[in-house]
Amino acid sequence: MSEKKKWMPRWFYQLASPRWSYEIMGKLLPWFAIAAAVLLVIGVVWGLAFAPPERYQGNSYRIIFIHVPSAFLAQSCYLLMAIAGAIGLIWKMKVADLVAKSCAPIGASLAVLALATGAIWGKPTWGAWWVWDARLTSMLILLFLYLGVIALNSAIESDAMAAKATTVLSLVGVVNIPIIQYSVEWWNTLHQPATFKITGKAAMDMQMWAPLLVMVIGFYCFFAVSLMMRTRNEILYRERRSSWVRELIEKQRG
């Protein structure tokens, strides 16, 4: 093994194999699907039926059980897309490019969900569906970045060229993530500071924080399921002429 490979774990290079990646994702899918289903059901019932009303916002605050996880995940998905694209660009891993490509529509959907639920929450809280707040505006830019990646993937016929172009756009757009995260601290905005923190003391009661944490983890498990399903489909399409895909199709037919 070369000196360059010694410091990298074996599984990292195994990911370069479309067949190995396809099979390992297939083994992980059921576990993540079960975890997502259980956590989301528990989180929704706990948050909507058992969490107490908020002192000032009453029951309208309950939309955070959808809004906060979708906003978190929209940002995490973008970071994953950029990292996967960079790995594909540097190490020439086709599977990494496919992961990056699969992230874009999922992330765009999450950004739309975060913006929509934020608007629904904002109406009773601020008296308006939309304001050009720093947090909201930077979140809208995130959606446009996702749409730009999707458009580039559709417009460029060469898979290699599309992967390079979308990776460049993704890496440039990463600067927007800290802006989303810290905009409420850097500028005077209507959007409230973060009430949910993985580390540090939460700015909300444990009876509200606990079901929200369950929902966040459930959303991440659901994202993993969606990403693996899309990536597996991309692998099958890219490798449709390879012998192992043909064997797989014949096995399923038989």
Output the CA torsion 242→243→245→249 (10° steps).
Answer: 140
3-class SS shares of the chain: helix, strand, coil, % to 5: 80, 0, 20
Tell me the sheet residues that pair with 58. Answer: 54
pLDDT recorded at residue 189: 64
Amino acid at site 221 = C
Give the number of other Cβ atoms within 10 Å of residue 175's Cβ. Answer: 8
pLDDT recorded at residue 154: 95
Least confident span in 8-12, 63-67, 239-243: 8-12
Q: Are 28 and 242 in contact (CB under 8 A)?
A: no
pLDDT recorded at residue 7: 57
**40 pLDDT more than 80:** yes
Please state the rounded mean pLDDT for residues 139-159. Answer: 96
Amino acid at site 242 = S
Tell me the sheet residues that pair with 54. Answer: 58
Q: Which two tokens stand for residue 77?
A: 């998905």
Tell me the pLDDT tens digit for each residue of 170-189: 999 999 999 888 876 655 66
Tell me the pLDDT tens digit for each residue of 12-29: 667 778 999 999 999 999
More confidently predicted of 132 and 164 = 164
Tell me the pLDDT tens digit for each residue of 49-89: 999 988 878 888 899 999 999 999 999 999 999 999 999 99
Please state the rounded mean pLDDT for residues 118-137. Answer: 85
Averaged pLDDT score across all residues of the chain:
88
In 3D space, the residue among 40, 18, 5 whose CA is nearest the CA of residue 237 turns out to be 18
**1 pLDDT more than 50:** no
pLDDT recorded at residue 235: 96
**96 pLDDT more than 60:** yes
Whole-prediction pTM:
0.90
Q: Which two tokens stand for residue 78?
A: 């973008």
**Burial annotation 176-187 (CB, 10 A radius, 16+ → b, else e):** bbebbeebbeee
pLDDT recorded at residue 193: 61
